[in-house]
Every structure is written in structure tokens, then in C-alpha cells.
Amino acid sequence: MKVLHLFFIPLIIAFGVHKFYVSVTQIEYYAPEEAIQITSRVFIDDLDRALQERYEVQAVLGTPQEIPEADRFVDRYLKSKFVVRINDRQVNYKFLGKKTDSDIMILFLEIPGISLENLETIEVQNELLMDVFEEQKNILHFKFGDKKKSFVLIRESNKGMLNF
């Protein structure tokens, strides 16, 4: 029996420590404000590591020790890894802020002044955390009125598009 414990305990611990790398991004059209609202959920420690590796900064996100410039670094990282194109033209978005929920960082973005009638395509290139974690997968959910589409993005296929 002891031999079985010696074999299974390390095996169980190894499976318990295994981490998966995923983010989930919801992209919706909000008609009352004629805006595209984007909410992205990432693991806090993964985003912290990305900021550390990219900018050599210990942001300590989601803690009382979070550095005052954290939002600036998060916004900078987003702009380098998350691109939105509307009708084949890259558009700017506003980083509205972030909040924590347990071990998740929720990021809020918005593209104001978008008329649904003028939309032909919206394409999102999401490379968040792919520069840090080879196994990273980024899930995109589009919801524009009755049009819904989802994508699982990986390094080799990092774009999703919704046609109108």
C-alpha cells in the first residue's frame, strides 16, 4: 500500500499543478451608445508575467502593492497584442479600466461612434499572452444583435472575423 501511495501522490500533485493558458474576450455592440464594448478576462499572474517579461516591471496586479503606472502598462501591452479592424481598417479603442475577480483580471475596452448600419466586417487579432505562453489560447465571442460567432485563437491562427 505504501508503494502505491509513493507512486500516486506525486502523479496527483503533478496533474494538480498543471496550468492551462486561456483568455476569454466578449465583443458586443451596444446600440444605445453606438459603441463596441470589449471585455477580456485573463489570469492575473499571466498578465503580470507578460508585463514583467515585456517591460521589466513588477506591476503586482490586483494587489494592494499594485504600482501606480499599472494601467498605463496594461494599456500599452493591449495595444501591442490586441488589434481591431472594422471594414478592413484598424481602429483605436479606449482602455476604460480593469477589475479583479478572484484570480482573473477583467479588462474593459470600448470603440465609440460605430454605426451598426455601416459595419461590413469586424476582425480581431488577439495575441494576448501568446508571446509568453506557447500553449496560450484566446477565445473570442462576437455578439452583434442576432449575429453570434466564436473562435478559439492560437499562435498560428490568431484572428477572428465577423461578416455582416
Report how far residue 56's alpha carbon sits from residue 59's, in angstroms, rounded to the nearest whole number.
9
Q: Of the segments 19-23, 63-67, 117-121, which one has the largest average pLDDT value?
A: 63-67
CB 39 within 8 A of CB 25: yes
Calpha distance 69→57 (Å, rounded): 10
Considering only the C-alpha atoms of the chain, give the largest distance between any 2 of them, rounded to a whole number of Å.
Answer: 69
Q: How confident is the model at residue 116 (pLDDT cuts 50, 70, 90)?
A: confident
pLDDT score recorded for residue 12: 41
**Torsions phi, psi for 103 (to 5 deg):** -100, 15
pLDDT confidence of residue 145: 86
Q: Does the reported pTM lie above 0.75?
A: yes
Q: Residues 98-107: pLDDT tens digits?
A: 999 999 999 9
